[in-house]
């Protein structure tokens, strides 16, 4: 049976939702570079709260995209590293990040045109 992303119950859509997660993708791309600890991630990703980081890391681990390893130091440190599955997902996200960087200007320009148009029509 072929997946149909337009069907509501299609599990493939769950995965698109997961990528839709604002922070998940950023974390994966970072962990692809190197394994990192909790606070290290928090400091690197501007604007993420401890709660969200904890939450997203948990769900990424659940999906098998990263591994969590607690190390018995004092205080305890926890290392997060990407899995093979996570690497393939990160690779699939690359074209998207590239698109964003390449086409940012066009999108912002389109937004300005649209907003100017709206303003004009309102007058």
Would you say the C-alpha torsion 59, 87, 68, 56 has a positive or negative sign? negative
104 binds, among DNA, a copy of itself, none (CB under 5 to 8 A by kind): a copy of itself
Binding site for DNA (CB under 7 A): 21-23, 37-40, 47, 49-52, 54-55, 57-58, 68, 74-78
Q: Which does 49 bind (CB under 5 to 8 A by kind): a copy of itself, DNA, none?
A: DNA
Of 4 and 49, the one with the shorter C-beta distance to DNA is 49
Give the number of other CB atoms < 10 A from CB of residue 110: 11
Give Cβ neighbours of residue 42 (< 8 Å, ≥ 6 apart). Answer: 48, 50, 53
């Amino acid at each position: 049976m072929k997946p149909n992303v337009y069907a509501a119950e299609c599990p493939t859509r769950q995965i698109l939702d997961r990528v839709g997660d604002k922070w998940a993708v950023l974390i994966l791309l970072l962990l692809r570079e190197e394994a990192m600890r909790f606070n290290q991630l928090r400091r690197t990703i501007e604007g993420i709260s401890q709660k969200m980081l904890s939450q997203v890391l948990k769900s990424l681990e659940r999906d098998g995209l990263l591994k969590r390893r607690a190390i018995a130091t004092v205080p305890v440190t926890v290392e997060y590293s990407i899995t093979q599955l996570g690497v393939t997902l990160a690779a699939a996200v690359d074209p998207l990040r590239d698109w964003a960087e390449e086409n940012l200007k066009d999108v912002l320009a389109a937004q300005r045109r649209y907003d100017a148009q709206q303003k004009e029509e309102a007058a």
